[in-house]
Copies of this chain bind each other. A is one copy, B any other.
Amino acid sequence: MNNDEAAALGSEQMRARIAWYYYVAGLTQQEISDRLGIARARVNKIAGQLRADGSVVVDIRLPLVSCVELEEQLKAAYALKQVAVVPSVADDEQLRRMIGDAGGIMLDALIADGQCISVGWGRTLSASIKRLRSRQLKDSSVVSLMGGLTRGSETNTFEVSTELAKTLGADCYYVTAPIYCPSIESREILLTHSGVNEVMERARKSDLAIVSCGDLSHKTALTAMSSVGERLPDLKKSGAVGEILGTFLDAQGLPVDHILNQRVIAMPPADLKMIPNSILISGGLYKADIIEAILCAGYVNCLVTDEAVAQRLVASRR
């Protein structure tokens, strides 16, 4: 291929060439920029994006025995069907990608045609979905498990379900309501009128649920919403350790008595128990408490997390 041809490449084909040359052939970025006739800085940027957006994925074929052991211990301790544990790293974003990758691999094996897949929200979930192989499932559907965020966040609940549906080639059903209603009355109105109930009914009957969870620190995306963030002291006083599907739970995994829980529009966590396969994808030591609460209550039967959290979980069951 000569430079004239290269110059005529669309940006998508440019990305594909860079992916091959850099990640498979092992050319240097300089060589690639020469060959393609573009600035090296651009190659560098695109190469980074390719990793981040899941166009290039790496598989590690050496299991870590310490993680494999933890997986087995967690399965036994919390009666889980499937567990994946990845090594811990300090950087949150890197950890999310690692857990997301592992979650994607688990999902890849569980997803089949003819299923209804319900999905929560979160950056880790978003990473998992990027990792999935795309398919053309004709008889499948994706359902959102919770209302949307009004303040445009980097990842909205709508975005997660849309992306999953697109990747799978499935239909998508949205909970067209805010995650927290302004008042208990408005919640009633929304539930009775807007078709939200039908979607949640569909979610209850789904074959596979994919959820994440949030703790009470400011690191968690949900608490970054002003409506939630300003209530953090309240929530802590009420005994909450974090949330799943927008519902705040205490250390035993029971919903706490708090105004936010009365205004949430999402499937109640207890309903997850009716779903054959439910996966919690979440890690980072600061989420250990809420993860433990969710497992104690038995809301989910599969888990993807990191080594440090797994150790905590195993230790507290001794």
Q: Within 8 Å of chain B (Cβ to Cβ): is A65?
A: yes
Q: A1-B307, A307-B1 are in contact. Are A62 and B19 (CB under 8 A)?
A: yes
User: CA–CA, A163 to B61, complex, Å?
Assistant: 16
A124 → chain B, closest Cβ, in Å? 14
Q: Residue A109 at the B interface, CB < 8 A?
A: no
* Chain A 39-56: CB-based contact to B (< 8 A → 1; otherwise 0): 000000000001100111
- The reply to whether A24 and B101 contact each other, CB–CB distance below 8 Å, is yes
Contact across chains for A20 and B56 when beta carbons are under 8 A apart: no
User: A20-B64, A27-B89, A98-B25 given as contacts; is B59 within 8 A of A56 (CB)?
Assistant: yes
A7 interface residue per 8 A CB criterion: no
A233 close to chain B: CB less than 8 A: no
Kindly state whether residue A136 has any CB partner on chain B within 8 Å: no
For the complex, is A4 an interface residue (Cβ under 8 Å from B)?
Answer: no
Instruction: Return the CB mask of A151-187 against B: 1 if under 8 Å, else 0.
Output: 0000000000000000000000000000000000000
A110 within 8 A of B: no
The verdict on A17 contacting chain B, using a C-beta distance below 8 Å, is yes
Q: What mask results when residues 1 to 44 of chain A are scored 1 for a CB within 8 Å of chain B, else 0?
A: 10000000000110111011101111100000000000000000
Contacting residue for A87 out of B21, B64, B97, CB 8 A: B21
